[in-house]
Amino acid sequence: MAYYIGIDLGTTNSAIVTFDGEKTRVWKTKEQTDVTPSCIFVDKKGRRFIGNKAYKAQAKEGNENRIAKQFKRFMGTSTKIELAGELLTPEECSAEILRELFRCLPEDIAKAEDRYTVITVPAAFDQMQNEATKKAAEMANIGHVAVMQEPVAAIMSVMHNTDIRNGSFVIFDMGGGTLDVAIASCVNGKVDVIAHGGIAMCGGIDIDRKIVDNIIKPWLLNNEDYEIPDDFMRKEKYQKLFRRARFLAEEAKIELSSEESADIYGTLGRDITDENGEEIELDITITREEVERLIADLIQEAVECARDTIKKSGIPINDFDRIVFIGGPCNYKPLRDRVSQELGIKNYGLDVNPMTAV
C-alpha cells in the first residue's frame, strides 16, 4: 500500500497529514495538538527538545540563548542559527522539525518504503530556497520529497472540503512572521498561481510586539509598585523582561481568538527585577476591542498588499469567488471581517482550518 504524506514546514508552526486516496488525516503531536511549533530548545545537559516543549521553554528564566525559531526565513542563505553556543544552518534546524513531525506518524507509515512526501513552500520561494527545503528533508532521512506552493495546497484543501471545482481566489496567508498573498485560479481541478506578493514583517510576531509596546510597557511605567526607567526597553537589564512579556502577549493573543478578553498575569521570573530589586509581576487584562485598535494599521497594510497583488493579476475584483484565510492570526474573526470588507470580497468564513490547510 502506498502512503501519501503532506507536510507544512512553517515559520512558526508545522503540521503533517496523510492522504489515503479518500480522506486526509492530520496527525497529532504527543501533546495532542494539530501543529508542532517550529522551535528547538537545548537544555543545560545538552538534550534537545522540539516542538511544544521547546516553545514552552521560552517562558522560563535562563533559556533565552538555548532556543532557535523563525529559521525558515533564512532557508537557502548562508545565515547561521546560534543555539546554545552551537552554529546550525537553517536546513539543519528544519531537519529537526521534520524528524519531529515524522514521530507523529504510526510506525508502519513512517518506515514504509512505498511512500510519497510533499512539503509546501511559499509562492515567493526561489529555486535555492526550494532546494534548501529538499536538503532539509534529506538531512532528516525522510527520503525523496517534492515541493508544492502553499497557495496551490490551500486551494486543494478548499476543493477537498467543499464542492468548489472552479473559480478565482485570493489566498491571504498571515503567519507568525510574514504575510503572503497569492492570486490563484482553478479550472476543472487544475490550480495556477497567477500573482503573488507579501510583506516580510507583517504577522503574529508584529501583533505581539504591539501588545507589548502599547499595553504592557505603559502598564509597567505607570505602576507605582515598580521603579522602572522610561527607556527600560533599551537597557540590557530589561531585555529578558521584553522577551518574556512578548511570550505572554502571544499567549493572550491566541486566547482572544475565542474569548472577548484575556489576562496577562504572573511573575516574569526571579531574575527579572526593577531598579530596587523588586520582582516584577504582571496583572493586565486586555480585550479584543483594544487589540483591534492596535492592529488596525497592520491590517490596513496587509489589505493594501492584497490590493496590489490583485491588481497585478489583472482579475476584476467582482470575479473572485472567495478569500482563503491561512495562518494562525486568521483564526481571529475581526481580522477576517476587516480584510473581506476592505477588499469587497464576501467572507465565507473558514472553509479550511487556517493552521493545517497547507
Q: Consecutive 10-residue runs of the chain (358 residues): their mean pLDDT? A: 91 93 90 96 95 89 86 93 95 98 94 92 91 97 92 86 85 89 89 89 89 95 92 84 90 92 87 90 94 94 96 95 91 90 85 83
Q: How far is CA 145 from CA 133, 148, 186, in A?
A: 9, 10, 24
pLDDT per residue as tens digits for the range 210-260:
999 999 999 999 999 999 998 888 888 888 888 889 999 999 999 998 899
155-213 residue pLDDT tens: 888 887 777 778 899 999 998 878 999 999 988 878 899 999 988 778 888 999 999 99
For 145, phi and psi rounded to 5 degrees? Answer: -130, 155
What pLDDT, on the 0 to 100 scale, is given for residue 332? 86
Burial of 24 (0-12, 13-18, 19+ CB in 10 A): middle
Burial of 1 (0-12, 13-18, 19+ CB in 10 A): exposed
Among 170, 98, 178, CA closest to 138: 98
pTM of the model: 0.87
pLDDT number for residue 333: 87
Spatial CA neighbour of 83 closest among 94, 101, 241: 94
The per-residue pLDDT for 39 is 96
Helix axes 296-313, 204-211, angle to 10 degrees: 160
Going 310 to 339 to 330 to 211, the CA torsion angle's sign is positive
165: left (phi over 0), alpha (psi -120 to 50) or beta: alpha
- Separation in Å, CA 1 to CA 112, 117, 143: 9, 14, 17
Give the model's pLDDT for residue 6. Answer: 96
Q: Which pLDDT belongs to residue 351?
A: 76
- Work out the burial of residue 209: count CB atoms within 10 Å of its CB; fewer than 13 is exposed, 13-18 middle, 19 or more buried: middle
Q: Are 178 and 203 in contact (CB under 8 A)?
A: yes
